[in-house]
Chain A
Amino acid sequence: MSKMRKVIRLLPVWAAISAVIILAGIVLMAVLGFNTASERPESYVFEVDYGIVVHNDEKLETGLGDICTEAFSAKGLSLADTVKGSGVNTAQDQMAVRYIFTDTLSEEVRTAVEQAIDSKIEQNEALKGADIFTVWHVEENVPFTEADWRGGVAIAVGALVGLIYVGIRFGLGSAITGAVLAAHDSLFTVSVLAIARIPVYASAPVFYAAIAAVVSVLLWAFVCMKLKGLKKDPDTRSLPAEDAVEESANGSRKCILGVLIALVAAIAVLGGVATAGVRALVLPAFLPVAAAAYSSLVLGPAVHARVKALLDKLAYKRNKGYAGKQKAQPEE
């Protein structure tokens, strides 16, 4: 028995693995949501405001930054991000640097850090008398939910429309399997995100789900093309469902692997070269590609063998007793 035949026959195993992961993911999504740490849902922010005297002197500005970072290190605080801004309109020359911490910081620690920084600024001859103000803020992000649910609906409708076209061109069975795979890949991706608690931006899960659906439709179309090729060929037209699916899965593997290798390379290079913020958005995109790889190489053929067998059986029953010439039968 060939490897692909074994894969096709192990459908219950693949279905069980996917079902467990997706169910666990849905439960975790409902209870805990995603780990949106990259979005900083709750944070402590140490804000340093300073005026033109400090801003126009690079040494003073760097010195002030050093005082702050040294004080954070001395207290063992790990900095999540630093955001610099400049005042607009009324305070043109006012600058603000916001040091952002995502770990929970007690009021005692915050007060101690602020006092340490204020006293160092006071002691620094160059900064003495400069317009510098420090303050701690506690911030909580207010999430937007409309983009998430509309994104989910959009992916479902988009994939469905794409697969209706697949259905028209390659038959109902291909569309049904394609719909199952697109739904599976999107859900599988967001489920793994939820289970593994991978830190993501708030809008990212729906983006990864969209990538999963797009790659899934793309890869499944390769298998459909091979299937159609087999159906056109008089030698392979009457192959049993399992044989036809095996043949088409093997025949389309090169194209599928080519696309997958290119996608993995693109994500690896982009994630490897880019800045930390871009990396946080790009690297989790391995997940939808992995989900689409699993579904197109393993789950897809297994599901489609069953779907095709069922539809072939129905078609046979429907055509039973028909003595006329088959529509697609070529002239001998």
Chain B
Amino acid sequence: MSKAKSAVCLALMSLLIAGLIFVCFIPFNYGYEGMNRYNPIAVVTSLDSDLGLYYGSGDEYSKPYNGGGYSAMYYPEGVISSRQYTDDTKDDAERQEEYEGKYEKVGSLYFDTEKVTLADKKPNDDFTADFENAVDMLRERYGRLHEEDVRIDVVDDYTVRVFVPRAASAAFTQFSYMGDFSVSYGSDASTATTIMPARATESINDYVEGASTRSANGSEFVVIDFTEKGREALSKATANAAESSSTMFFKVGDETALSLSVSEAIDQDSLFITSSSFTAETANIAAILIDTTLEFAPVTMTFSVDEITSHTARFGENAMLFVVIALAVLVCAMLVFFFVRYHLLAFAHIYTFLLYLCGTILCVWAIPFLTLSIETISAVLITTILLSISNVIVFENARKDFALGKTITSSVKGGYKKAFWHIFDLHIALALVGFVVFFIALPPLSSFAFTLGLTTVFSGLGSLVLTRFHWAILMAYTENKGGFCNFKKEVADNE
């Protein structure tokens, strides 16, 4: 490559890298008296709920997601917390008296003895069994969200605390709905006629097969699949819908999970229900709610959701900062190794590494199911090592050829020729492992696997294409090409 071409390519590549680093990592203020702030991609990339990082824009509410999440308490009907008991009876002698007669304390909870039968300071077996079923139902529902770091705790034996990262906080209320699934049709939810199941002797499973979600044209749908009998019931109920439109209510217990305005007769196996307020998450929550209610034995217990609390990241508010410091130390160690071993040729590796790093950050930011977590960072670390070792293999092959007396151009060619299939095979095998694991596993392992697959592809392209290009454009200037790469000719040395 001629010097002029190399200079242009080097300038363009340097500008590209500088631009990417600026966009990805450098925050700055702008506008009148610096009132506006630009948050780089690394700052606006979501962290998982374990890692916290407080930097970036000013006030708390405009900050990007900094880890942490929300917890809520589920209280069965007839059970209140000691805090609520105290608050309700404070400075109110009449209510104090009423509560003393009505409630009995078990541990730190108060049980309404009219609603829950107690024996030996414990709720009866029916209540306990129903509570256990409810906990199983909650575990199934939250488990199906496939969100990282969801946590369920049974608190004081008869209440439940659920922790979810930010993305899943809409589930708290919907997932508290317990009871049978039913479909009713009418002008309002309270007076609507139940059409599925039509008779007490029938099961809802005779009518409805299940629920799922689908996206089309930017809208999210909850899809409810009906059996043949369900389709008939639907068709019969909506036969006159063209004359008088009405609403179909999909209920779990007494609560309406979904509703659908009907203005024409429906005669189909599946209903696609959407709403302007639907997001992918809320549609998924509604589908999980219906599906689990259909699959599991009905829970008769009803819950109230209370004490919704926001929490900071589990690993500490500045956990990410320390991770970044550790990564900086590792990058410095890598640079020292490359500069000591390969002198200025290290720049070829650095250019490739920076492009790889910016590409990775942009992907983690842009791909909705990826977050910056220890798992994704581990995958990036593994593939950074892979990128480095791939470059080392090529550089060492070229060093050997150069030592034997070949020209530097011929050594580079030979180095790549010898190493190409080795590097190619390494990357393909690892990328296959990553992507296959991603398709089967659940978070957080799937995040690790996807990042591994993706960054392995970047590493392969980086070492086989970019490093070679950088090597060519960087070396065009120097007269002493061997010295540039810290390569020595054995023959010349002997002479």
A interface residues (Cβ-Cβ under 8 A, vs B): 45, 49, 83-89, 91, 96, 133, 135-142, 144, 146-147, 150-151, 153-155, 157-159, 161-163, 165-166, 169-170, 203, 206-207, 210-211, 213-215, 217-218, 221-222, 224-225, 255, 258-259, 262-263, 265-266, 269-270, 272-278, 281-282, 285
Q: How far is the CB of B179 from chain A (nearest CB, A)?
A: 21
Main secondary structure on B side of the interface with A: helix
The 7 closest A-B pairs by CB, nearest first: A277-B315, A154-B440, A85-B309, A154-B441, A158-B437, A273-B326, A162-B433
List B contacts of A274 (CB < 8 A).
315, 319, 322-323, 326
Q: Which of A155, A265, A285 contacts B333 (CB 8 A)?
A: A265
A272 with B326, Cβ < 8 A, contacts A88-B310, A221-B425 known: yes
Main secondary structure on A side of the interface with B: helix
* Of B2-10, B225-233, B293-301, B377-385, the one with at least 4 CB within 8 A of chain A: B377-385
A214 with B433, Cβ < 8 A, contacts A138-B155, A265-B333 known: yes
Report the bound CA distance from A166 to B424 in whole Å.
12
Please determine whether B444 and A207 come into contact, CB atoms closer than 8 angstroms: yes
Highest count of chain A CB atoms <10 Å: which of B135, B310, B326: B326
List A contacts of B319 (CB < 8 A).
274-275, 277-278
Task: State which residues 381-396 of B face A: CB under 8 Å.
Answer: 381-382, 385-386, 388-389, 392-393
List A contacts of B81 (CB < 8 A).
135
A278 with B315, Cβ < 8 A, contacts A86-B310, A214-B452, A225-B425 known: yes
Interface string of B58-93 (1 = CB under 8 A from A): 000000000000110000000001110010000000
Q: Which of B330, B382, B444 contacts A203 (CB 8 A)?
A: B444
List A contacts of B161 (CB < 8 A).
139
Task: State which residues 362-385 of B face A: CB under 8 Å.
Answer: 374-375, 378, 381-382, 385
B152 interface residue per 8 A CB criterion: yes
Please determine whether B444 and A217 come into contact, CB atoms closer than 8 angstroms: no
Task: State which residues 302-327 of B face A: CB under 8 Å.
Answer: 307-312, 314-316, 318-319, 322-323, 325-327
Please determine whether A151 and B445 come into contact, CB atoms closer than 8 angstroms: yes
Report the bound CA distance from A146 to B143 in whole Å.
8
| Interface CB pairs A-B, < 8 A, 20 | A83-B311, A86-B310, A139-B153, A139-B155, A141-B151, A142-B139, A142-B152, A154-B438, A158-B436, A165-B425, A170-B425, A206-B445, A207-B444, A210-B445, A214-B430, A259-B385, A262-B385, A265-B333, A266-B330, A278-B322
B interface residues (Cβ-Cβ under 8 A, vs A): 50-51, 70-71, 81-83, 86, 107-108, 135, 138-139, 142-143, 150-157, 161, 307-312, 314-316, 318-319, 322-323, 325-327, 329-330, 333, 374-375, 378, 381-382, 385-386, 388-389, 392-393, 422, 425-426, 428-430, 432-434, 436-446, 448-449, 452
Please determine whether A162 and B449 come into contact, CB atoms closer than 8 angstroms: no
Q: Which of B108, B138, B429 contacts A221 (CB 8 A)?
A: B429
A84 with B429, Cβ < 8 A, contacts A138-B157, A158-B437 known: no
Please determine whether A85 and B71 come into contact, CB atoms closer than 8 angstroms: yes
Report the bound CA distance from A302 to B425 in whole Å.
23
